[in-house]
């Protein structure tokens, strides 16, 4: 039985309890700020993601004092990535990286935020209302139950499809033409169900990345032995294949990976178009962070790192807004700093995504990586 929806005035409302929202809520709760953390879905929940924590994501978690949490949750080391293209393979060692299911990571971060004093409002849709000089109203909806809270500041960490902003006409999301669609599923651990040699071939500590003409598929073994599958496909190829399982099988076959019959019956989830950018990144009494601010194709596996870093940098700004009162300069500062960071980080991802879309350039880069693995500019290649 869930608690009734909250009402009244709250210093901070965080919309979305993914890595960005949960870590932002944790940072503020630790400073004694009453925070409402509103999440649409029932936790724990799986979501489409490669589940690889890059060096940057690990550094952000360490900065927040959460390195022991990763050990408690059973995060596994990620030692290498095996790239497959047109039947050839290249193996790259990864200097830093861990694998943890999003089910465990997100639940662990939310539990830490709640333990620090944040109030979780689960299974509830939040939507920002029109600006009010003294507060930002946030409408909450759970089934037929409705409530409105007044927030001094709203942190919007609602992921790619942030419909919570639809009453704010000034916020626009630009989706890049031809942007790929994300897809993913979980395949059972080898000790669940009949032995499947194709599944058992994917060992621990290595990300297997199949690169095809119209997308790529990454497979990695999780802490409970299940195989996490995450992919990005061209929309037209996804439709032509008849769905994500067939599109993934096609990519595996083009890359020279063995067929995986378990893909067909798996419960696949799709994402909205991936490469996008929101503008502005902040406004009167709200800041956008994580995927809500913008995202590029996930080949380099930096999304959680960006989301966690943004969460860390939102804490001092939120504290300044609460201590000194809201000033629109804060929104301008956030937009400027985040836009600059995002542009720098996304340049590499976008360049790689472009290279991988052209057969000739992906072959040239692939060949270079095979010959000189130390040249590989990949932070943590992940689907
Ligand atoms: C195929 C694929 C593979 C990827 N692989 C990797 C990888 O290996 N490593 C990596 O670092 N990144 C990877 N990413 C990126 C990573 O998944 C995201 O960057 C990361 O989840 C962003 O975190 P977030 O907190 O901003 O958003 P999310 O994790 O999407 O969380 C947003 C939350 O907000 C909730 N929400 C949405 N709307 C509302 C609302 N109105 N009210 C209340 N709650 C709401 C959602 O239910 C969700 O729980 C991958 C992405 C894709 C698509």
Reported as a single tens digit per residue, the pLDDT across 349-382 is 666 666 666 665 666 665 666 555 554 444 454 4
For 168-196, write each residue's pLDDT tens digit.
999 998 888 888 999 999 998 877 766 77
SS3 percent helix, strand, coil of the chain, rounded to 5, is 35, 30, 35
| The pairing of beta strand 145-156 with beta strand 8-15 | parallel
Residue 130: CB atoms within 10 A of its CB come to 10
What pLDDT score was predicted for residue 191?
73
**In the structure encoding, which two tokens stand for residue 86, read together?**
């047109």
pLDDT at 367: 61
Q: Which two tokens stand for residue 58?
A: 């690990």
Which range is least confidently modeled, 105-114, 151-160, 236-245, 356-365? 356-365
Q: What is the mean pLDDT of residues 157-174?
A: 92
By three-state DSSP, how is residue 264 classified? coil
Give the CATH number, domain containing residue 304: 3.50.50.60
- Atom number of ligand 1 nearest to Cα 20: 25
Measured in Å, residue 381 CA sits from the centre of ligand 1 at 17
Number of separate domains in the chain: 1
Q: What is the pLDDT of residue 274?
A: 87
Q: Which residues contact 113 (CB under 8 A, 6 or more apart)?
A: 17, 22, 23, 25, 26, 29, 35, 37, 120
Token digits for 348?
């590499």
Using the mean position of ligand 1's atoms as its centre, give its distance from the Cα of residue 324 in Å.
32
Mean pLDDT, range 71-83, rounded to an integer: 95
Decide: pTM greater than 0.75: yes
Length of the chain: 383
Q: Can you give the pLDDT at residue 354?
A: 64
Within a domain: residue 297?
yes
Band of the pLDDT at 21, cuts 50, 70, 90?
very high
Percent of the chain at pLDDT > 90 equals 72
Percent of the chain with pLDDT over 70: 89
210 falls within a domain? no
DSSP code per residue over 50-112: --EEPHHHHHHHHHTT-HHHHHHHTPEE--EEEEEETTEEEEEE-SS-EE--HHHHHHHHHHH
Residue 369 within any structural domain of the chain: no
Mean pLDDT of the chain: 90
Answer whether residue 296 is part of any domain.
yes
Over 90: is that where the pLDDT of 111 sits? yes
Residue 156, ligand 1, Cβ within 6 A: no
Q: Of 54, 146, 157, 159, which is best to mutate to test ligand 1, by the most ligand atoms within 8 angstroms of its C-beta?
A: 159
pLDDT score at 378: 47
Is 106 within a domain?
yes
In this prediction, residue 42 carries a pLDDT of 96
Query: Which pLDDT value is given to residue 362?
Result: 62
**For residue 282, what are the domain limits?**
8-51+71-76+99-176+275-347
Report yes or no on 217 lying in a domain.
no
| CA–centroid distance, residue 298 to ligand 1 (Å) | 11
Maximum mean pLDDT: which of 117-131, 197-211, 269-283, 355-369: 117-131
Is residue 33 a part of any domain in this protein? yes
Report the nearest atom of ligand 1 relative to the CA of 52: 8
* Residue 298 CB–ligand 1 contact under 6 Å: yes
Question: Residue 57 phi/psi, 5° resolution?
Answer: -65, -40
Exposed, middle or buried, 333 (CB in 10 Å: 0-12/13-18/19+)?
Answer: middle
Q: Among 291, 310, 381, say which to mutate for ligand 1: greatest number of ligand atoms within 8 Å of CB.
A: 291
Pocket test for ligand 1, best of 14, 57, 122, 158 (most atoms within 8 A of CB): 158
19 lies in a domain? yes
């Amino acid at each position: 039985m869930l608690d009734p929806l909250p009402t009244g005035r709250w210093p901070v409302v965080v919309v979305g309890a993914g890595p960005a929202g949960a870590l932002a809520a944790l940072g503020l709760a630790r400073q004694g700020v009453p925070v409402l953390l509103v999440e649409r879905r029932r936790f724990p929940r799986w979501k489409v993601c490669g589940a690889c924590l890059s060096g940057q994501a690990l550094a952000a978690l360490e900065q927040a004092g959460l390195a022991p949490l990763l050990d408690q949750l059973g995060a596994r080391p990620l030692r290498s990535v095996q790239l497959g293209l047109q039947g050839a393979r290249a193996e790259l060692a990864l200097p830093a990286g861990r694998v943890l299911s999003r089910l465990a990571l997100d639940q662990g971060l939310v539990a830490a935020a709640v333990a620090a004093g944040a109030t979780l409002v689960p299974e509830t849709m939040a939507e920002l209302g029109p600006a009010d000089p003294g507060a930002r109203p946030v409408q909450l909806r759970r089934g037929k139950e409705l409530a409105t809270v007044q927030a001094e500041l709203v942190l919007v960490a609602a992921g790619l499809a942030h419909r919570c902003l639809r009453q704010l006409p000034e916020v626009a999301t630009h989706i890049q033409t031809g942007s790929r669609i994300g897809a993913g599923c979980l395949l059972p651990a080898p000790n669940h169900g009949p032995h499947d040699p194709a599944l058992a071939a994917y060992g621990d500590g290595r990300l297997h990345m199949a690169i095809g003409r119209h997308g790529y598929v990454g497979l990695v073994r999780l802490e409970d032995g299940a195989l996490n599958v995450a992919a990005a496909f061209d929309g037209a190829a996804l439709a032509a294949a008849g769905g994500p399982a067939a599109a993934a099988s096609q990519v595996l076959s083009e890359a020279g990976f063995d067929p995986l019959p378990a893909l067909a019956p798996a419960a696949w989830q799709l994402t909205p178009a991936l490469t996008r950018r929101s503008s502005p990144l902040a406004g009167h009494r709200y800041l956008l962070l994580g995927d809500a601010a913008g995202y590029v194709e996930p080949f380099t596996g930096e999304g959680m790192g960006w989301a966690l870093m943004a969460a860390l940098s939102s804490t001092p700004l939120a504290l300044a807004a609460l201590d000194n009162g809201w000033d629109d300069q804060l929104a301008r500062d956030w937009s400027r700093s985040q836009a600059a960071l995002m542009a720098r980080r996304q340049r590499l991802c976008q360049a790689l995504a472009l290279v991988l879309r052209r057969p000739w350039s992906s072959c040239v880069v692939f060949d270079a990586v095979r010959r000189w693995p130390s040249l590989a500019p990949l932070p943590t290649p992940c689907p």
